[in-house]
Amino acid sequence: MSVETEEKHRTIFLVEDNKADIRLIQEAFKNSQLPHEVVTVRDGMDAMAYLRQEGDYTHAPRPDLILLDLNLPRKDGREVLAEIKADPVLKRIPVVVLTTSRNEDDIFHSYDLHVNCYITKSRNLTQLFQIVKGIEEFWLSTVTLPPE
């Protein structure tokens, strides 16, 4: 008798201002075999409110993975990253910076802030799909994440 271990439903928290990019990432995650949900906010302020369960987000589920763009309105991605990594609770959530910027300063700065990994958005759709697949496989299946 096989016991089906119910796969945990994953929450992927996407912080991205560009509608087109949101859609692309959503499309990429459609290929995923894992039960998941992509939750999206479009600026840094909302991102922090969501993570801290403030305002409209009092019942927001804690995400298993944060995909963070660096250039955001209202509150910059760098600030969001710094705040997450300075928060004793939030800092355990893996953060993947996913951005267009190839600026080395941005890369160094992100790692200085203990980002879990930094990925440059691809210009090539196939590559993008591969990246998303890689993220999903690595961060949501392979890596043992700290229990909530």
Partner 1 sequence: MKIDLESQTINITSLKEAPIHLSGQIQPHGVLLVLDEPELKILQVSNNTWSILGISAEDILQKKLEDLLDSFQIERIQAGLSSGNLEFINPTKIWIRKKGDDYAVFDAVFHRNAEGFLIVELEPAITQENIPFLSFYHLAKASISQLQKTANLRDFCQIIVQEVRKVTDFDRVMLYKFDDDGHGSVIAEEKLDTLEPYLGLHYPESDIPKPARKLFTSNSIRVIPNAQAQAVQMIPSVNPVSDRPVDLTNSILRSAAACHLEYLHNMGVGASLTISLIKDNKLWGLIACHHQSAKYVSYELRKACEFLGRVIFTEISAREETEDYDYRMNLTHIQSLLVEYMSQEDNFIDGLVKHQPNLLDLTGAKGAAVCFGDHFTLIGETPKEEDLVFLVQWLKNNAEEDFFFTDSLPQIYPDAERYKNVASGLLAIPISQRNYVLWFRPEVIQTVNWGGDPNKAFEVNQSNGNVRLCPRKSFELWKETVRLTSLPWKYVEIKAALELRKAIVNIVLRQADELAQLAQDLERSNAELKKFAYVASHDLQEPLNQVANYVQLLEMRYQEALDEDANEFITFAVEGVSLMQTLIDDVLAYSKVDTQAIAFQLTEVEKALEKALGNLRQRIAETGATITHDPLPTVMAGSTQLMQLFQNLIANAIKFRSHEAPQIHIGAERLEDEWLFSVKDNGIGIDPQFSDRIFVIFQRLHTRDEYHGTGMGLAICKKIIECHRGRIWVESQLGQGATFYFTIPVGGRERERRNGRKTQNNLFSRGQ
* Rounded CA separation 3/34 (Å): 18
* Rounded CA separation 129/50 (Å): 26
Stretch that binds partner 1, among 7-15, 39-47, 77-85, 97-105 (CB under 8 A): 97-105
DSSP state of 139: I
Minimum distance, C-beta of residue 27 to partner 1, in the bound complex (Å):
7
Minimum distance, C-beta of residue 1 to partner 1, in the bound complex (Å):
42
- Of the pair 4, 104, the CB lying nearest partner 1 is at 104
Q: What are phi and psi of 67, to 5 degrees?
A: -105, 120
Alpha helices by DSSP H, listed for 12-124, are 19-30, 44-51, 77-86, 104-112
Number of residues that bind partner 1 (CB under 8 A): 20
- Region 44-73 residues binding partner 1, contact defined as CB under 8 A: 71
- Of the pair 31, 53, the CB lying nearest partner 1 is at 31
